[in-house]
């Protein structure tokens, strides 16, 4: 069987690109949170009592940074779960393609040529959409 043609918009490529972007976003959010936490600490340990409005603004900034970091981490976990599900689906597609390639298999033997062709090409299309040009994307 032929190697799949590379497609930069495959689902796997999209997930990997977003995970890479999240790595940078997470680092930036961690830095922002550290700055905000330092600002709160500095403000609260200052000699004079800062105005309530200033304290609340700095604490809101810290809370916003925490929330942003949690959102990034949650999205990262969801993408990892999506990636695991995608790998499972790819494995299932490859197993079915392998089954279709065995002519002596009872399931394959019971298919008409039209049914076989329709299923085979549908599986190849789905695999190409999911994996695209990833290494080892051989049907």
Q: Is residue 47 part of a domain?
A: yes
Domain range for residue 46?
A: 11-131
Q: What is the pLDDT of residues 55-91, one digit of tens each?
A: 899 899 999 999 999 999 999 999 999 999 999 999 9
pLDDT of residue 75: 96
Overall number of domains in the chain: 1
Residue 20 has pLDDT above 50, yes or no: yes
pLDDT of residue 88: 95
Q: What is the pLDDT of residues 76-85, one digit of tens each?
A: 999 999 999 9
Residue 83 confidence (pLDDT) = 93
Whether 34 maps to a domain, the answer reads yes
Read out DSSP for 4-26? PPP-TT-HHHHHHHHHHHHHHHH
Which residues sit opposite 138 in a β-bridge?
A: 3
Q: Which of 37, 43, 31, 27 is nearest to 62 (CA)?
A: 37
**CA–CA dist 107, 81 (Å, integer):** 32
Q: In the structure encoding, which two tokens stand for residue 27, read together? A: 């680092």
pTM: 0.73
Residues in CB range of 6: below 8 A, 6 or more apart? 132, 133
- A 10 A CB-CB count for 60 gives 11
In a domain, 41, yes or no: yes
Length of the chain: 139
Question: Does residue 95 lie in a domain region?
Answer: yes
Pair of tokens at residue 99: 């089954």
Domain membership flag for residue 81: yes
Instruction: Please check whether residue 98 lies inside any domain of the structure.
Output: yes
- 89 falls within a domain: yes
The answer to whether residue 136 is domain-embedded is no
DSSP, collapsed to helix, strand or coil, labels residue 77 as helix
């Amino acid at each position: 069987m032929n190697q799949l043609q590379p497609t930069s918009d495959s689902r796997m490529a999209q997930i990997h690109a977003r995970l890479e972007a999240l790595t940078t976003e997470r680092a930036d959010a961690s830095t922002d949170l550290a700055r905000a936490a330092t600002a709160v600490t500095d403000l609260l340990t200052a000699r004079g009592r800062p105005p309530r409005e200033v304290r609340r603004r700095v604490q809101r900034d810290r809370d916003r940074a925490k929330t942003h970091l949690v959102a990034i981490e949650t999205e990262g976990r969801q993408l990892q779960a999506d990636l695991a599900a995608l790998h499972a689906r790819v494995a299932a597609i490859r197993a079915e393609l392998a089954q279709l390639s065995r002519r002596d298999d009872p399931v394959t033997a019971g298919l008409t040529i039209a049914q076989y062709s329709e299923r085979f090409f549908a599986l190849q299309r789905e695999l190409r959409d999911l994996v695209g040009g990833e290494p080892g994307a051989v049907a």
